[in-house]
Chains A and B, each alone.
Chain A
Amino acid sequence: MIDVRTQRIGWAILIAALLAAPFAISSGRWMEFIELTLFAALLGQGWNILGGYGGQYSFGHALFFGTAAYIQALLQFKLGWSPWVTLWFAIAGAVAVGAFVGFLSFRYGLRGSYFALVTLAFAEAFHVLARSLVSVTGGGSGIQLSLNQDPEMAIASFQFTFAGPFLAEAGYYYVILFCLLIGFAVTGWLNHSRFGAQLQAVREDEDAAEALGINAFRVKMRAICLSAAVTSLAGIYYVQKFLFVDPGIAYGPGKSVEALFAAIIGGLGTVIGPLLGSAFIHIVGEFAKETIGAMLGDRPGVDLILFGIILVLILAYMPRGLVGLAEVIWKRLSARKEAGDA
């Protein structure tokens, strides 16, 4: 373990750097890159609460992202509600779906792969519903929100494209950063609270946890609701930024996979893991597109081939992810330093 003081300094530097990034980085392309990285990190953090801390591997986290996105879009589109009001419904809706799926799965004792499969099936069922209930969701063509062009209404409409120069450039960045900081706060709390300790106990051994007075069912229910709430923030952000949602974006396998990639590659059950994982895969992806794309022409799929391979390698050789690797390196370095001092 890296000592507490070093960790605190690291966190302070990281958060300061993220807050200052829009001032320091002028390239729009780089800011976009960082924003996408934070977005995937947020998805990963949502997954991490249930998967990393609770040991319940979901293959259908798109459920929570997509439900929040649809509610956020529909209430604005159909009822003309303010996005600042709809977002509470979006969070509540995602939590309700989490509670529903969790109740059925955990009550009937689904564990391990079976939980993963049932979440995948639920996501697929919602996918079909979103595609089929055309009168509500607009079916396969999705929902397009109208773009607010009035700078005065930028804040009220939660749309920054035509806001003042600063908000237009960095507004969405700060939104996603704020959401991610909430994610950090939640997982940080898990590291230092009774609930977090009980959740990790359930992950490690459910029977032993029960014997020690932990209501495993209730703990898992809370975890899935919390996980859904954090993941829903990504859905709200997505709709406000792109003003669009369709069944494939909302409930397709893409978002579920992105979430678990970030968390597993970065390091399960750690606060920083999902951000590390997300940064790593985005950098690798960008690099692959630049190099392999330059050699063989710009074709889709290169980045995901690498991600798939990286996932397998991490599972095989580094089950604690990049965080585990960082700890090993830190240990070696400090051992060497101590040897040098002596």
Chain B
Amino acid sequence: MLEVSSLTKRFGGLVAVNGASLHVEKGEIVSLIGPNGAGKTTLFASIAGFLKPNGGKVTLDGQDITGRQPHEICLRGMVRTFQVVKPFAGLTVRENIAVGAHTRIANRTEALELAAQVAERVGMGRRLDQSAGDLTVAGRKRLELARALATQPKLLLLDEVMAGLNATEILEIVEIIQGIRESGVTILLIEHVMQAVMKLSDRAYVLNYGEIIAEGSPAEIAHDPDVIEAYLGHGAAERMKAAGGADA
């Protein structure tokens, strides 16, 4: 469904993403992980049209969307959320979600109805008329998700929707995301919460210093020496192996 090939994004002399390639198949949940500053959000922004890549290609369902405007990409069925959530603070929850719904629905009443349904799906049914500016962090994260979902996407790009949430809230969001996948939406997500990555994803990519250093099932990734080094520093894999051996 989504095919990213050797995408590169530079800021001045700094190479934030260096020839990254990945693909997401229909119906999958794929995770993009990596240490802080690895370039994950930059890669996301370049895929979704918020940054113009310096090189490489992005295709969605076989169509080239490299460097297209974000709103065009959304209309083609791929929508992103933001790590730093951006609620429309002056509007209510219902109105916020309806903005997303209007992407495919011109009629106001129908858009508001869809907004209520989507709110129900992400567990915000009772907060419909609350001002978005008054929501808690967890509420804002859900709203971000709901708004994106209301655009009726084929592919959802989620940027750290679990950051800042407590354990109960994370479990709830994991359940919601599974529900979204079951409804037929493909998902690519950036996440730091490893237990969620393990639980949710079919496959994962690891990004470090702007390059994809590993790809595979979550279990494979967790044991990949390159990945362990990227997270824990040089020589960490060796040390862990040694420690593991001693334990056994």
Contacts of A204 in B (CB 8 A): 87-91
Contacts of A209 in B (CB 8 A): 99
B69 at the interface (CB under 8 A from A): yes
Q: Are B99 and A197 in contact (CB under 8 A)?
A: yes
Q: Are A214 and B91 in contact (CB under 8 A)?
A: no
Of all chain A residues, the one with the shortest Cβ separation from B85 is A208
Q: Are A213 and B90 in contact (CB under 8 A)?
A: no
A234 at the interface (CB under 8 A from B): no
- The distance in angstroms between the C-alpha atoms of A216 and B71, with both chains bound, is 8
What 0/1 readout, one digit per residue, does chain A (180-207) give for beta carbons within 8 Å of chain B? 0000000000001110011011011101
A152 at the interface (CB under 8 A from B): no
Contacts of B89 in A (CB 8 A): 204
Of all chain B residues, the one with the shortest Cβ separation from A207 is B86
Contacts of A203 in B (CB 8 A): 90
A342 at the interface (CB under 8 A from B): no
Q: Are A215 and B69 in contact (CB under 8 A)?
A: yes
A210 at the interface (CB under 8 A from B): yes
Known contacts A207-B50, A212-B147, A215-B69, A197 near B95 by CB under 8 Å: yes
Known contacts A197-B99, A204-B89, A205-B86, A211 near B79 by CB under 8 Å: yes
Which A208-227 residues sit within 8 Å CB-CB of chain B? Answer: 208-216
Contact of B71 among A194, A200, A213 (CB under 8 A): A213
B75 at the interface (CB under 8 A from A): yes
A269 at the interface (CB under 8 A from B): yes
A-B contact count (CB 8 A): 81
Q: Are A211 and B99 in contact (CB under 8 A)?
A: no
Q: Are B86 and A208 in contact (CB under 8 A)?
A: yes
Contact of B98 among A197, A216, A269 (CB under 8 A): A197
Q: Are B86 and A212 in contact (CB under 8 A)?
A: no
Q: Are A197 and B111 in contact (CB under 8 A)?
A: yes
Contact of A201 among B50, B74, B99, B106 (CB under 8 A): B99
Q: Are B108 and A212 in contact (CB under 8 A)?
A: no
Known contacts A200-B90, A203-B90, A214 near B50 by CB under 8 Å: no
Contact of A198 among B79, B81, B102 (CB under 8 A): B102
Contacts of B18 in A (CB 8 A): none
Q: Are A211 and B90 in contact (CB under 8 A)?
A: no
Of all chain B residues, the one with the shortest Cβ separation from A206 is B86
- The distance in angstroms between the C-alpha atoms of A251 and B148, with both chains bound, is 44
Q: Are B99 and A192 in contact (CB under 8 A)?
A: no
* Max chain B C-beta neighbours (<10 A), residue from A192, A197, A200, A214: A197
What 0/1 readout, one digit per residue, does chain B (105-118) give for beta carbons within 8 Å of chain A? 11110010000000
Of all chain B residues, the one with the shortest Cβ separation from A189 is B108
Known contacts A194-B108, A205-B86, A212 near B69 by CB under 8 Å: no
Interface residues on A, range: 20 to 34
Q: Are A210 and B71 in contact (CB under 8 A)?
A: yes
B29 at the interface (CB under 8 A from A): no
Of all chain A residues, the one with the shortest Cβ separation from B147 is A212
A270 smallest CB distance to B (angstroms): 11
B103 at the interface (CB under 8 A from A): yes
Of all chain A residues, the one with the shortest Cβ separation from B153 is A213
B100 at the interface (CB under 8 A from A): yes
Contacts of A212 in B (CB 8 A): 71, 74, 79, 99-100, 103, 147-148, 151
B209 at the interface (CB under 8 A from A): no
Contacts of B90 in A (CB 8 A): 200, 203-204, 269
Q: Are B69 and A213 in contact (CB under 8 A)?
A: no
Known contacts A212-B148, A214-B71, A200 near B111 by CB under 8 Å: no
Q: Are B108 and A211 in contact (CB under 8 A)?
A: no
B141 smallest CB distance to A (angstroms): 14
Of all chain B residues, the one with the shortest Cβ separation from A201 is B99
- The distance in angstroms between the C-alpha atoms of A94 and B41, with both chains bound, is 43
- The distance in angstroms between the C-alpha atoms of A31 and B20, with both chains bound, is 71
Q: Are B88 and A213 in contact (CB under 8 A)?
A: no
Of all chain B residues, the one with the shortest Cβ separation from A214 is B71
Q: Are A211 and B98 in contact (CB under 8 A)?
A: no
Q: Are A194 and B70 in contact (CB under 8 A)?
A: no
Contacts of A216 in B (CB 8 A): 71
B9 at the interface (CB under 8 A from A): no
- The distance in angstroms between the C-alpha atoms of A95 and B186, with both chains bound, is 44
Known contacts A193-B108, A197-B111, A200-B88, A207 near B82 by CB under 8 Å: yes
Known contacts A201-B88, A203-B90, A204-B91, A211 near B102 by CB under 8 Å: no
Residues of B within 8 A of A (CB): 48, 50, 69-71, 74-75, 79-82, 86-91, 95, 98-100, 102-103, 105-108, 111, 147-148, 151
Residues of A within 8 A of B (CB): 192-194, 197-198, 200-201, 203-205, 207-216, 269
Sample (13) of A-B pairs whose CB atoms are under 8 Å apart: A194-B106, A198-B102, A200-B90, A201-B99, A203-B90, A204-B88, A204-B91, A205-B88, A208-B147, A210-B74, A212-B99, A212-B100, A269-B90
Q: Which 9 A-B pairs have the closest CB atoms?
A: A213-B74, A204-B88, A213-B103, A208-B86, A210-B70, A205-B86, A201-B99, A194-B102, A215-B71
Q: Apart from A197-B99, A201-B99, A212-B99, what 19 extra A-B contacts exist at CB < 8 Å?
A: A193-B108, A197-B98, A197-B108, A197-B111, A200-B95, A200-B99, A204-B87, A204-B91, A205-B86, A205-B87, A207-B70, A208-B86, A208-B88, A210-B50, A211-B71, A211-B148, A213-B100, A214-B103, A216-B71
